[in-house]
Each structure stands twice: as structure tokens, then as C-alpha cells.
Structure 1
Amino acid sequence: MPVLGQNQYGKAETRVVRVARAGERHELTDLTVSVALSGDMTDAHLVGSNAAVLPTDTVKNTVYVLARERGIDSPESFAAELARHFVDAQPTVRGAVVDVAEHRWERLGDHSFARAGQDTRTARVTFDGRALQVLSGLTGLTVLNTTDSEFHGFVRDAYTTLAETTDRVLATEVTARWRHTAEEPAAVAAADWNADHAAARERLLAAFAGTYSYSLQQTLFAMGSAVIEQLPGVAEIRLSLPNKHHFLVDLSPFGVANETGDGAVYHAADRPFGLIEATVLREGAEQRIPVELTRL
């Protein structure tokens, strides 16, 4: 006999742009918000009763109203505000997961902006009626080292053709999620999420640039360790690093040498690619970031 398992519903990818016009210098906040609600929804699935269902259109409207009335200090604080609202306001809603992606803009003047960079700031807040779990993160952060990277001494079998190298281009597109130790609503509300995110991003970049790499795995651990060591409020960080391969172009058919060194020419291959993923934990911390989160 079929039975209902875990289920949730909500509104995905609500785009909300907020413009604060206090004075001549305007502030622009641009987010994509996704909300998933869970709770006493059995009858909606089994008998088609909507008595416990808050319409997803209402979820969308709530995002807009809270953005207008309460403002958006940071993706984390706004996600926490939404998660607590849905659980506290609706007796049939027992849990809420709110994902927020921030689209950054570079200021050109008091009221002029250009889209900034390629990386996207992310946040996920889960609320179960008691504690908040806050995950900060970023995705699409493309970085590259033109040297200080080696790869050799690996396992070989009958199908191995990859040549060993002591000097290669190392490039990746960073996706990272890190979990904060602050879970009490008051602590979450008081945290400076913008400063924490900027510090974590800076540590990730500094560790990538400053690590002499013998493998992308080693670089990943150095990046995660830098965040754990410098941000005492972070319990764990999960990183997903695709290896953006750069291969020397074979120019020998044209009688041209193309070796690693000054003026070398590479082909940047987008696929297939190696994918390195791991979690770095603070000693004694529990691993709680689901593996699939870094692939979103």
C-alpha cells in the first residue's frame, strides 16, 4: 500500500529588487528568493484538501511585503525573517527552508549601477520552530593561478594517458556553503552577516592565491581551513571545485613549439571536468551541511 513520505512545497525564485531612496544616494538590493514549507500537509496529497495549505502566491506576496516593510539588511537576516514568519504565523507549517541568492551591483554614481562580477552570494536558513540553521555561501567565483601548481605521482592503469606535470594552470569555479554556530534567534538577528560574508570570501581568495598546489584537493582543504581558522563563528564549510582544465595546444603540426613558460598558449576545456568536493570542519563540530547543497 502506498504511503506518503517527506514532502514540502513553496514558491521558487521570487525576484525582489528593493531601492532605498533616503537622500540623493540610493541603495539597491537585488535578490532571488525560494521558500519551501513543510508540516501537516497529508490531506492535501491524499484527499486533495487544501485546508492546511498556504497558497504559494501568498508566499510570494509575503516576500515582497516583508522586503518593503522590514527592509533587507543581508540575505541571511532576510531569510531568517521569512523562515520565522511562516513557521510562527501558520499553525500547519512546522518547518521552513529559505534560499536567497544576491545579485551584486557595482555603484557608478549616486543612483547608477552596473552588474558586478560573476559570483553570486547565497544564503539558506532553516527554522523548525526552535532553532535557526544559517548557511552562507557563494557560487560562480572563478579563480585561476597561472603557475605554482603541480600534479604528479598519481595512480596509473592501462587506460591512463595523462602526463605528469610540475607546472600547470590551475583554475576552478568555487561553490561554497558554510554553517554558522549561531542558532538562537537573538544571536542570528544580532550577527553582522555582511561583514562575515566579506571576510569568508576574502579568506577563500587569499588561500587559493597563496597555496602552492600539488592537487586541487590540497587547495580545497587550504581554502576551507582558512575560513575555519579566521572566522570563529563558522562550524563547517563545504566546497565544490570543478577543475577548469587548461591544456597546452599542440602546435607541432605548424612547426611551432608550445611549452610551459613565457607565451604558452592553452585550450580552456569546459567539459568533461574533474570535480573535487569536500567538507572542512572545526575540530569537534558535527557535519550537518548536506552534500547536494553545493551543487545547487
Structure 2
Amino acid sequence: MAIVLGPNRYGKAETRLVRVSRDGDTHSLADFNVGIALSGDLAATHLTGDNSGVLPTDTMKNTVYAFAKKHGVGEPEEFALLLARHFVATNGQIESARVSIESFGWERLGPHSFQRKGDCTRLASVVVTAEQTQVVSGLTGLVLLNSTASEFHGFPRDRYTTLPETTDRILATAVDAKWRHMSPTADFAKSFAGVLEAVTTAFVNTYSYSLQQTLFSMGSHALHQRPEIAEIRLELPNKHHYLVDLSLFDMANDNEVFIAGDRPYGLIEGTVVRDDAPPALAEWYL
């Protein structure tokens, strides 16, 4: 039996970067969490401890800060592309660089005062090889709720099924979405705002018979509205709300008082794809 080294990569995780751009008395703020992962001809360090091809992860961290000063950061996709292309171009042993960024939003309160936004976190992830470049954008933690216009019934039942059917329920979720761009060039700020608006609008306007149906509606609307998007993957936890039994207090509860459940919860996942989308690199949504 032979034992061999399988796929591997290494890098620097969670490099926290805050970049202040000073334009006179009015400042702007970028707040990033940067992850870098490199792969390529790295067998020697695993098999013999030869580190001659191992760029230190501390160097990766320093590159983030140096590039933020030298080039600015721009949109998170743009900064990720800048870093990934640099690592592939300057390290002959590296075949692929993945740079992922969480971008935390801040709302302006004054020329140099800001308040942290809490609606969702913007995501960006790029993969660069000598032959290909792939850009994925996304968001996480977008909490949405419809207080009606949602049903769930007609499902199979077995001896362990206790869930009652309903024709009027709260539908709530915390959206995680990632979408792959058709090409590595786009107006990423406009694209992000457009996808955010599209998935939110679809959630609001879809009369839902299942969260799966709502997922497809959200993904389809995003692709219809944003031609630069090749495909979108959505993860929608079902944030259950349970009707409180008030009969012990001689009170009726006409879908008004609920317990917001924590766990366990249903998790609905799916990808909506444009039929003319170019092929993706493997595991693009990770």
C-alpha cells in the first residue's frame, strides 16, 4: 500500500485591515478581514521539511498592509485580485492563489465619523492561476422575515411526523449567498448592490409554499436582473417561529404571539445557474 500526499494549501487567515482614505476633512473607511491560501509545488515541505518553496505566511500578512498603503483597497474584489495575481506572478512554485475577504460596512455619520452597519457582511473571493481567474462575490447574515404569505403543507408523513400543516406562517431566514461572475471584470460595487436588491425583492414578493421555492425565486431574480452573474448559491436557514399556546390563559392566539426558535433549524441550500455560464473552477462557492 502506498501513502501519498493529497491536495494541500497554506496561507494566512484573518488578517484584519482597516484603511482610512483621507480626502481633506472628509474620510472614507474600508474594514476587511483577509484570508490567503496558496497551493502548488509544496510537496517538499510536507515530505522532508524543505521550506525553500514556502513563502512565510507572515510575508503574506505584510503584503496585505503594504498593498493597502501603496495601491489603496477599492472594492474587496479588486483588492483580492491584486493580491492573488501578485502571489502567483512572484512565486514560481505557486500554481493557484485564493484570496477571500469579508468586508464590514460602516455608515457615515459625519466627515470622519462612522457607525458600523449590522444588516449583513459583504464577501469576496478570487482564485488566480496562470490560466484562469475567477471572482466570487457574496454576503452573509442578511436577516429577512415575512410575517405572512407563507404556507407549508402537502408533505409526506410517517410515524415520526408531528409537524402540523399550515397555510399561514412566519417565514424568516438569515441569507448566505455567493455568486460567480461571468468574467473577472465588473463594476463590483454596482453588482453587489444589484444582487442584494434582487434577492431582497424576490423574498418580499414571493408567496411561498416552501423555503425551497423562495430560494429558487431569489436566485432566478438575481440572474435576470444581473447579466454579469453566472450562477448564485444560497443557503437559507429556516428561522422557525412557534405559535405560543395561550389556551391555558383562556386567550386565543391568532398568529400574533410566537417563540423565536434558535436550534435545531431547517437548512435549505441550492444553486441557480445560467445555462450559458462558463465553466467554474472546482468548489467555487467555498
Mapped contact 2:180–2:284 kept (Cα < 8 A): no
Q: Does 1:257 align with 2:264?
A: no
1:252: Cα distance to partner? Answer: 1.5
Distance in 2 separating the partners of 1:249 and 1:227: 36
Question: What is the SS of the residue equivalent to 2:215?
Answer: helix
1:127: Cα distance to partner? Answer: 0.5
1:284: Cα distance to partner? Answer: 3.4
Question: Which residue does 1:76 correspond to in 2?
Answer: 77
Question: What is the SS of the residue equivalent to 1:195?
Answer: helix
1:33: Cα distance to partner? Answer: 0.2
Q: CA RMSD in A?
A: 1.4
Question: Which residue does 1:160 correspond to in 2?
Answer: 161
Question: Which residue does 2:119 correspond to in 1?
Answer: 118
Distance in 1 separating the partners of 2:228 and 2:117: 28
Q: Residues 203-252 of structure 1, C-alpha deviation per residue, up to 9 Å, x if partnerless? A: 01100011111110010000000110011111100000000001101111
Distance in 2 separating the partners of 1:290 and 1:253: 56
Distance in 2 separating the partners of 1:291 and 1:40: 20
Mapped contact 2:182–2:277 kept (Cα < 8 A): no
Distance in 2 separating the partners of 1:60 and 1:253: 60
Mapped contact 1:19–1:28 kept (Cα < 8 A): yes
Distance in 1 separating the partners of 2:279 and 2:149: 31
User: 5 Å matches for 1:204-283?
Assistant: 204-260=199-255, 264-283=256-275
Name the % identity: 55
2:225 alignment partner AA: Q
1:293: Cα distance to partner? Answer: 3.8
2:270 alignment partner AA: A
Unaligned runs of 5+ in 2: none
Distance in 1 separating the partners of 2:157 and 2:200: 32
Question: Which residue does 2:170 correspond to in 1?
Answer: 169
Which of 262, 285, 288 pairs up with 2:277? 285
2:259 alignment partner AA: H
Question: What is the SS of the residue equivalent to 1:80?
Answer: helix
1:279 alignment partner AA: T
Q: Residues 82-103 of structure 1, C-alpha deviation per residue, up to 9 Å, x if partnerless? A: 1100000111111100100001
Mapped contact 2:16–2:34 kept (Cα < 8 A): yes
Question: What is the SS of the residue equivalent to 1:114?
Answer: strand
Moved over 6 A (4+): 289-292
1:287: Cα distance to partner? Answer: 6.7
TM-score (structure 2 length as normaliser): 0.97
TM-score (structure 1 length as normaliser): 0.93
1:166 alignment partner AA: T
Q: Residues 258-284 of structure 1, C-alpha deviation per residue, up to 9 Å, x if partnerless? A: 122xxx100000110000000000123
Mapped contact 1:236–1:287 kept (Cα < 8 A): no
User: 5 Å matches for 1:116-155?
Assistant: 116-155=117-156
* C-alpha spacing 1:268/1:242, structure 2 compared with 1 (3 Å): same
Question: Which residue does 1:12 correspond to in 2?
Answer: 13
Question: Which residue does 1:106 correspond to in 2?
Answer: 107
Question: What is the SS of the residue equivalent to 2:227?
Answer: coil
2:52 alignment partner AA: A
